[in-house]
């Protein structure tokens, strides 16, 4: 009988789920806080259920002789050394969708508190001041809510805001016109949102593209007296710029549940009366904590008793027998998705994945999940092979999968086609005997290229002298070419250069490459 340790506080119902599924369980909710006792005990367990208090470090994992799975009741896994767990073959799971309603409700609560200055009015009244004229609020009815991020949580916020009779304007790189209509929001670009919104709420992951998405320049584009709510991630707002805007009155108020540095024990924003702060309470309701506890107990039990893998962060759903043949194709699928995702800037409406030849006979589900992960990760960051299919579904992206017998020269290949509101973009690849993924076609143009960590993608008109000009410019910029791959549609038509390079290319260098005669697009790719 498999044995599970629960080293943080989980409900009695969650503990009972383990027992009902035939799993032996030790409920020791304070063990994770004692590093030495945790280290001594972990060796006897097959599974570990945690919240955020237990720190599953490389040292703890080194003592986990029998551990097969770690389950985190919640989304964040900062307290787990995932690379160390992966090296040891330990599955790491989380519960990515259990807190959505709770976080959305917190954002709405923060907005209402901000509109009516509730915390400050509460303090004043309790101090016997009765300052009725001081706390003049604003209605939210008929106001414009600017929604930055319209995914799982953002769409729930939009629904609740519409119930409050607000007009919701949303910015999200993956928001299609059809999806916007389905959730009842108006799709807008970021500058338009800043210009129109009375309230702005953030519901996006923290990646390079979203870091300081609200900064001094963005605030300058906003309405005077705008109110800002952030229950998503610290780092989305430049706190110094927000501080200055709050002091000047450009921003009437801010409600923050997350901060650049947490725990946020000292922060200049705390000095301001027009700022409401909470200690990262987004997921803190009885219902949410119970939901994720029950979910993680079911997931760990299912894996230990039947081998079923759900919401794994470091492993796709692959059986031991399938792994040797399937893993190279999973890597190819993710690379093709990443290739297309990095080149796509418009909202995606459809993703088609075609498997031909010997790969079509394999389990394509993990490959499809890997491809979707590759497509969405450049824009979303906080995503994995397990959550990607659900997120694609939530965002109204039509995913089509097709399999067929060998028809062309390759024994097996995968073709991925992205459809956006403006165009279709296709890329195909295969796996050779070395097991390394290779590109064999881009936008209908045949070419063969090995995918390397740093690449440069250039589309151009097929005119004499282009290769020389490109090579000379890269030399002048100090960029060393490791490999140069070319393909073209027709003589004088569209052509593609795909270069493996040492180091990376800056935005300024890309702009210089894009000014070369005949160049239509220049993009840096990372794999």
* Active site (catalytic) residues: 233, 262, 280
Residue (of 261, 263, 239) closest to 251 by Cα position:
239
Residue (of 396, 391, 317) closest to 350 by Cα position:
396
Q: Quick check: 310 and 302 in contact, CB under 8 A?
A: yes
Residues with Cβ < 8 Å from 144, sequence gap 6 or more?
166, 167, 168, 169, 196, 197, 198, 199
Q: How many CB atoms lie within 10 A of CB 376?
A: 25
- β-strand partners of 148: 171, 202
Tell me whether residue 48 is exposed, middle or buried, using C-beta atoms within 10 angstroms of its C-beta: 0 to 12, 13 to 18, 19 or more. Answer: buried
Edge to edge, the sheet with strand 445-450 lists 398-404, 348-357, 412-420, 424-431, 437-442, 445-450
Q: Quick check: 434 and 425 in contact, CB under 8 A?
A: no
Tell me whether residue 197 is exposed, middle or buried, using C-beta atoms within 10 angstroms of its C-beta: 0 to 12, 13 to 18, 19 or more. Answer: buried
d(CA 15, CA 11): 7
Distance spanning both ends of the chain, measured CA to CA: 42
Residue (of 402, 328, 317, 332) closest to 363 by Cα position:
317
Residue (of 349, 335, 385) closest to 365 by Cα position:
385
Cis peptide before 241 (omega within 30 of 0): no
Tokens found for residue 257: 């549940």
Q: Tokens 């709770």 appear where?
A: 102
Q: How many CB atoms lie within 10 A of CB 264?
A: 17
Q: How many CB atoms lie within 10 A of CB 323?
A: 13
d(CA 199, CA 216): 17
Buried b (16+ CB within 10 A) or exposed e, 445-470: bebebbbbebbbbbbbebeeebeebb
Using only C-alpha atoms, the chain has a radius of gyration, in whole angstroms, of 26
* Helices within 26-144 (DSSP H only): 35-41, 58-62, 82-87, 100-116, 118-126
Backbone angles phi, psi at 106, to 5 degrees: -65, -40
Classify residue 503 by its DSSP letter: S
For the residues of 226-271, what is the DSSP string, one character each? EEEEE-S-TTSB-HHHHHHHHHHTSEEEEEES--SSSS--S-GGGG
């Amino acid at each position: 009988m498999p044995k599970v340790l629960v080293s943080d506080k989980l409900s009695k119902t969650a503990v009972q789920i383990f027992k009902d599924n035939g799993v032996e369980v030790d409920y020791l909710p304070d063990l994770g806080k004692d590093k030495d006792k945790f280290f001594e005990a972990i060796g006897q367990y097959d599974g570990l259920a945690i919240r955020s208090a237990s720190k599953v470090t490389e040292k703890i994992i080194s003592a986990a002789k029998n551990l097969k799975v770690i389950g985190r009741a919640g989304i964040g896994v900062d307290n787990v050394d995932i690379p160390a767990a992966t090296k040891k073959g330990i599955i790491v799971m989380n519960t990515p969708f259990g807190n959505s309603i709770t976080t959305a409700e917190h954002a709405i609560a923060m907005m209402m508190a901000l509109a009516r200055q509730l915390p400050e009015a509460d303090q004043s009244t309790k101090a016997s001041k009765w300052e009725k004229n001081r706390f003049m609020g604003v209605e939210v009815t008929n106001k414009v809510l600017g929604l930055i991020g319209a995914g799982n949580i953002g769409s729930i916020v939009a629904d609740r805001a519409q119930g409050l009779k607000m007009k919701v304007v949303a910015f999200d790189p993956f928001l299609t016109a059809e999806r916007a209509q389905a959730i009842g929001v108006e799709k807008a670009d970021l500058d338009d949102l800043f210009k129109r919104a009375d309230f702005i709420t953030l519901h996006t992951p923290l990646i390079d593209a979203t870091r300081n998405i609200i900064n001094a320049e963005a605030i300058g584009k906003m309405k005077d007296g705008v109110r800002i709510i952030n229950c998503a991630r610290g780092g989305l707002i430049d706190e110094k710029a927000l501080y200055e805007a709050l002091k000047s009155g450009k921003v009437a108020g801010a409600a923050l549940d997350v901060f650049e540095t947490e725990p946020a024990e000292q922060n200049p924003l705390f000095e301001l009366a027009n700022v409401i702060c909470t200690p990262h309470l987004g997921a803190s309701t009885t219902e949410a904590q119970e939901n994720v506890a029950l979910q993680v107990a079911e997931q760990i039990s299912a894996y230990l008793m039947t081998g079923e893998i759900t919401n794994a962060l470091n492993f796709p759903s692959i059986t031991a027998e399938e792994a040797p043949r399937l893993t190279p194709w999973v890597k190819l699928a993710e690379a093709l998705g990443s290739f297309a995702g990095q080149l796509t800037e418009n909202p995606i409406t459809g993703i088609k994945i075609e498997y031909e030849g010997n790969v079509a006979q394999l389990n394509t589900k993990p490959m499809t999940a890997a491809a979707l992960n590759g497509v969405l990760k450049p824009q979303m960051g906080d995503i994995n092979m397990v959550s990607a299919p659900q997120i694609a579904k939530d965002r109204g992206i039509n995913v089509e999968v097709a399999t067929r017998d060998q028809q062309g020269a390759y024994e097996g290949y995968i073709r991925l086609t992205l459809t956006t509101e403006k165009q279709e973009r296709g890329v195909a690849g295969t796996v050779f005997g070395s097991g390394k993924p290779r590109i064999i076609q881009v936008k209908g143009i045949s070419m063969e290229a090995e995918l390397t960590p740093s690449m440069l993608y250039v589309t151009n008109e097929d005119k004499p002298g282009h290769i020389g000009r490109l090579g000379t410019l890269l030399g002048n910029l100090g960029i060393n070419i490791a490999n140069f791959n070319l393909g073209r549609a027709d003589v004088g038509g569209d052509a593609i250069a795909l270069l493996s390079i040492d180091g990376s290319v800056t935005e300024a260098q890309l702009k210089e490459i894009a000014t070369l005669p005949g160049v239509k697009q220049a993009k840096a790719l990372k794999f």
